[in-house]
Structure 1
Amino acid sequence: MSQGARRLPGVEHPQVVDPRHPLIERVRELCLALPEAVEVEAWGRPTFRARKPIFTYVSAHMERPFSVVVKTDPEEHRALVQDERFYGVPYFDRNHWVGTDLDAPGTDWQLLAELIETSYRQVALKRQLVALDAMRGPSATG
């Protein structure tokens, strides 16, 4: 488990992916840069939360350990699932979540950073959004 991460009490799950892998570290850096974001290991995976609600988690399923799952803007969801880089995630796809593989050739990290932030915005509290907009400057909301 990475430094600063914590486990949820209860049932232990096997670790799906090494949380110290460079791809996971890169996702962690993007997620933990957001206001009040925390990492919690759940289901054997790193999850990133806006305090409590999850906005990003790593490893869509055992066969795709180097993937990331984000909650999309409902208006952008249809376009994303039609893009071959993204796929519906079991149990989550009907709630506007998509997955993408981090280890795919040509991973667009800029787009991934934008999707992580959009996901955060879907679940964050108002004070967290105010803090994020203040971090981003005047152009963040318009």
Structure 2
Amino acid sequence: MAHPMMFDASDPYLTRVREICLRMPGADEKVSHGRPTFFTTKVFVTYGGTVKGDHDPEPHGQSVLVLPDADDRPALLGDDRFFEPAYLGPSGWVGLDLRACGPPDAVDWAEVTELVDASYRRTAPVRLVRELDAR
């Protein structure tokens, strides 16, 4: 049985996240477990998530899940906008609740881009990271 779609394709937060992610070399998008994911050979961003013990897709439905540098993770989780996502959290991933950042036009998209960049660098093949650095 297929997972139900847990996102709105016209979501303005998703539109901006998609633009940021698909600018990365070799990046593509697919729907996995009902959510948009962005990947090269491995996933570097998932849009939307849940927390352990609460599988309601709504509270964190408009969030980005990323794999930050391990040294940055504690500080990120100390910020109320961030959360440890179910399933991925134990592997070092964090979620940024975009609604907690304000309406789409108030989000610090440079911050989101930095998070996406860090996650991409941790998951993408070396040749794609070199291509990103050459831009």
TM-score (norm: length of structure 2)? 0.87
- RMSD of aligned residue pairs (Cα, Å): 1.2
Which residues of 2 match residues 98-117 of structure 1 at below 5 A?
98-104=94-100, 105=102, 106-117=106-117
Does residue 46 (structure 1) correspond to residue 36 (structure 2)? The answer is: yes
Count of aligned residue pairs for this structure pair: 124
In the other structure, the counterpart of 1:57 is 46
Letter of the 2:114 partner, please give it.
Answer: E
User: Residue 81 of structure 1: which of 67, 77, 84 is its match?
Assistant: 77
1:123 aligns with 2:123: yes
Cα distance in 2 between the residues matched to 1:84 and 1:27: 20
The answer for unaligned runs of 5 or more in structure 1 is 1-10, 136-142
Displacement over 6 Å in runs of 4+: none
Please tell me whether the aligned partners of residues 121 and 129 of structure 1 are also in contact (alpha carbons under 8 angstroms). Answer: yes
1:31-83 per-position Cα deviation (integer Å, ceiling 9, x unaligned): 00000000011011100002x20000101130221111001111111111111
Higher-strand-fraction structure: 1
Gaps of 5+ in 2: 51-56
Give CA deviations for 1:72-105 in whole Å, capped at 9, x if unaligned. 1111111111111111001111211111112222
Q: Percent identity?
A: 39
Structure number with higher relative contact order (C-alpha < 8 Å, ≥ 6 residues apart): 2
Contact 1:37 1:48 in 2 (8 A): yes
Retained in 2: the 8 A contact 1:19–1:46? Answer: no
Correspondent of 1:95 among 91, 98, 115: 91
